[in-house]
Amino acid sequence: MSDFHHTPEAEAAPPPAAGTSPRHGRAKGEPRFPDGPKADPAGSHFERRIRSFQPRRSRVTAGQADALQRLWPGWGLDIDGQRVIDLAELFGDARPVVLEIGFGMGEATAQMAAADPDTNILAVDVHTPGQGNLLALAERAGLSNIRVANGDAIILLREMLAPGSLAGLRVYFPDPWPKKRHHKRRLIQPEFLSLAATRLAPGAVVHCATDWEPYAEQMLDVLTAHPDFENTVPGGGFAPRPDHRPLTRFEGQGLDKGHVVNDLLFRRVQHKELSPTG
Ligand SMILES: C[S@@+](CC[C@H](N)C(=O)[O-])C[C@H]1O[C@@H](n2cnc3c(N)ncnc32)[C@H](O)[C@@H]1O
């Protein structure tokens, strides 16, 4: 999860075993989680790109590490950008799939999956403790409609998801990148929306929420201007917070600081094909 608002993890990390690195608790050169998510799944395979997330050293608790080791082989997906994935095969059924980008610690994701078992959630983040946390939450709640993807959502969208394969997109409290020189790192931009539009089925809804008002205005501007999306709110503007979106961890931190939260719900439009005669 982002360090823009930072809270310490609830669970304490275990002490390192003898003969291991004090910081990571493993011998030099050993993978962090032999059966778990890879450290940098796409590696240098793709061009240098502006990243919407910040690299951070992540402390993984014993419970998260255990979930990563045990559950990753069945429920995890490393974003290596090497193949287009068959979503029905990944989930084991053909239910509609919604992509959630940046689930953080995953509490809201697990709640939404439990509340709507007929929708599959492909949840992507780079944050290793969050990946472990979400896997543990999913197992504890007996959820079979969550898969956890590790890596950059842009590569997932561009290289690994088929056109029209998504029934929805959720981006809750994306990193706000408040400094002007960092605005280029914000996720919700015209190019991102053009890419997302190709992967969304006609009628699919993009749901964004943020507690950073200048970013909310930017989201509203770029979504409103984009030809592939229409506002679900008659007359335009922000949407009332829908009941189905639970309070997220990052949102709670923003509310504690007195921030105003805005939701945006835009639909992927289907363009009418023009006949050769117009
Ligand atoms: C500010 S946190 C919000 C987390 C959560 N949605 C919440 O509301 O508590 C944003 C998250 O998005 C993730 N993120 C940002 N850009 C990403 C990308 N391109 N691919 C995958 N995850 C990304 C970050 O790692 C971080 O965990």
Q: What atom of ligand 1 comes closest to residue 127's alpha carbon?
A: 25
Expressed in angstroms and rounded, the spacing between residue 173 Cα and the centre of ligand 1 is: 7
Interval 231-245: pLDDT, tens? 999 999 999 999 999
Expressed in angstroms and rounded, the spacing between residue 229 Cα and the centre of ligand 1 is: 23
Which residue carries 């896997």 as its tokens?
A: 135
Question: CATH number, domain at 144?
Answer: 3.40.50.150
Does the residue 40 lie in any domain?
no
**Number of structural domains, the chain?**
1
Name the least confident of 15-24, 71-80, 225-234.
Answer: 15-24
Does the residue 81 lie in any domain?
yes
Instruction: Write out the two tokens for 141.
Output: 């709640």
Across the chain, what does the average pLDDT equal? 89
Interval 182-194: pLDDT, tens? 999 999 999 999 9
pTM across the whole model: 0.89
pLDDT score for 163 = 98
Does the residue 97 lie in any domain?
yes
pLDDT score for 16 = 45
Radius of gyration of the chain (CA): 19
Interval 43-75: pLDDT, tens? 766 666 788 998 777 799 999 999 999 999 999
Does the residue 233 lie in any domain?
yes
The whole domain housing 172 covers 62-268
Does the residue 150 lie in any domain?
yes
* Annotated catalytic residue, options 80, 125, 152, 175: 175
pLDDT higher than 90, residue 10: no
Does the residue 136 lie in any domain?
yes
Does the residue 189 lie in any domain?
yes
Instruction: Over range 261-275, report the average pLDDT.
Output: 89
Interval 88-108: pLDDT, tens? 999 999 999 999 999 999 999
At residue 138 the predicted structure's pLDDT band, cuts being 50, 70 and 90, is very high
Cα-Cα-Cα-Cα torsion 157, 125, 239, 252, nearest 10 degrees, comes to -170
CA distance 175 to 125: 12
pLDDT score for 66 = 97
Expressed in angstroms and rounded, the spacing between residue 1 Cα and the centre of ligand 1 is: 6
Does the residue 43 lie in any domain?
no
CB 232 within 8 A of CB 267: yes
Determine whether 175 is an active site residue.
yes
Q: What atom of ligand 1 comes closest to residue 175's alpha carbon?
A: 1
End-to-end CA distance of the chain: 49
pLDDT higher than 50, residue 270: yes
